[in-house]
Amino acid sequence: MSDFVDRVSVHVKGGDGGNGSAGIRREKYKPMAGPNGGNGGRGGSVIFVADPNANSLLDYRFMPHRTAGNGTMGLGDTKDGSQGEDLRLPVPVGTVIFEAVGGVGESKKPGTLLADLRHAGDEFVAAAGGAGGLGNAALANKTRRAPGFALLGEPGDERDVILELKSIADVALVGFPSAGKSSLIAAMSAAKPKIADYPFTTLVPNLGVVQAGDVRYTIADVPGLIPGASQGKGLGLEFLRHIERTEIIAHVIDCATLEPDRDPLSDYYALEKELGEYASELELPLGAIPIPERPRVIILNKVDMPEAKELAEFVRPEFEKLDLPVYVISTASHEGLKELNFALAKLVSQMREDVRAREAAAEEERVVINPLDPTMGRQQPAGKKGFVAGVHGNDSSAYGAGAGRMAGGRGGAMPEFTIEREDDGHGNFWWSVRGRKPERWVMQTNFDNDEAVGYLADRLARLGVEDALRAAGAHPGDEIQIGRGDRAVAFDWDPTIAAGAEMLDGTQLGQRGSDLRLEEESGRGRRRTNAERRREYHEMMDARAAVRAAMAAERQAGHWADPTVDDDRHDETSLFGRGDPEEYESDESGE
């Protein structure tokens, strides 16, 4: 089995952020000295790095699931949790990363282009780690002095990506099977590809490094090119992608073929047709030279045989009429290899300068397009009633259909959230809230803590979600969904919800998250004086004496029974027995 893999699907997941801590500092004479919970650590990220020492994606075929380290939870004494370790995954230079498209159980196909790692050291964060949750020490302020909750860590990003290797070589060798491409690489470099005298011997692209004086360049072959390869015939379609990054295309033509319908010119035109059809479907990166414009080199191989030598000399003028440089070689006798080597080195040096100039010019001409205001002509999907809360500044009355509250930025404002009314077609409907901030806040909330839920409600209200829901037509009790997919949270909307310390006495007295036990007005926020202690002690003793006097009066009035007297002699469960046995016997005899 070959150890070369040039396309693989990988499932990546960033590390989860650690939860914040809700600790309380305790000191002598200060049972509630204040919050001291630390923040949770950030989760690690999954990062693909272009490594010149990597030459295959084989490792990811056997280990397709990669996960970065999680952040740890915050601790007391304001100790933050440690950050998760990033997972850096080396990939060959020339790897292209696509978003994987396909349902569950279906084969994944390349979707949106995410990154193109064309140079050594290029990096791409495929799955970012989740942020750590804030501890209650970070959540405390002058109005919320003792938060009894902390924020949860955010889960890391998780998705499927497709890695596709497009070999970056200076010279690409194209030709029919058994034309001698592998033999040429073996003769010009230290590579040891498999060589045999039957078609499709080479099943994977071979790469070799060639030294010509002070110039070092790489050559690669594209195996199995035959007529119809661009439509998937043979092996060509599988490996044609490796020609996209090459700067020079060299046609290796077999002058000793015995097939009756083949000759050097027909082989050249047949392969050029396949390259042209394949090139028409390519989306080249900035600065790349289109395949039809790349220089061609004709290599007439196997001239160690007399018939091949004559044929090469016969067709050479025909190629020169096309302004194509022609080199007559033999990989068996090494005839003409030195001239070919230095000619390719010179051409490679020229093309490298041309490519650098093209990339610089393309980078200067790049146009950065800032997003426009989405409230202008935004169309809603069929079957959904859209609503845009177009809040600017403190103007809560500026609502229009389709967008959310606006966040300022260059090139126009962007909506902080959107609200849409959705239904399932059976009379059930709900309001969907979408936006980076609301979705993030929901993931950070511990719904088992009422004070944390109240804090979430306050954040959503300050963002303008509640006002936007009212303006959109939502009523208390309607179902609200915040988030997408498995991370969505659904609840019944109650705009007057109150939770946590502000509801200790049953009434809403202050802001959510405030603690009445620490308020100055309650008398608990400072130490008592000696006079206050004496006064409270005497009040407590007087209250106890009054209770004892009231209980004695009730007992004398007959409202209370004396537990030391057995006044119910028929009570078999009495703790003092059934009374005097002789008295019972006299009663039973009737005396």
Q: How many whole angstroms separate alpha carbon 293 and alpha carbon 277?
A: 14
348 Cβ partners below 8 Å, 6+ apart?
170, 171, 215, 217, 247, 248
Specify binding-site residues: 175-182, 200-204, 221-224, 301-304, 330-332
Say if strands 326-328 and 385-387 run parallel, antiparallel, or are unpaired.
unpaired
Place of tokens 């010149």: 52
Place of tokens 């239904």: 423
Specify binding-site residues for GTP: 175-182, 200-204, 221-224, 301-304, 330-332
Q: How many whole angstroms separate alpha carbon 270 and alpha carbon 128?
A: 47
Q: How many whole angstroms separate alpha carbon 81 and alpha carbon 71?
A: 7
Q: How many whole angstroms separate alpha carbon 569 and alpha carbon 550?
A: 29
Return the structure tokens found at 251: 């046609």
10 Cβ partners below 8 Å, 6+ apart?
60, 64, 65, 66, 160, 161, 162, 163
| Helix orientation angle between 465-472 and 450-463, rounded to the nearest 10 degrees | 70
Specify binding-site residues for Mg(2+): 182, 202
SS3 516: helix
Q: How many whole angstroms separate alpha carbon 269 and alpha carbon 275?
A: 10
Q: How many whole angstroms separate alpha carbon 159 and alpha carbon 46?
A: 11
Strands lying side by side in the sheet with 479-482: 385-387, 418-423, 429-434, 479-482, 489-492
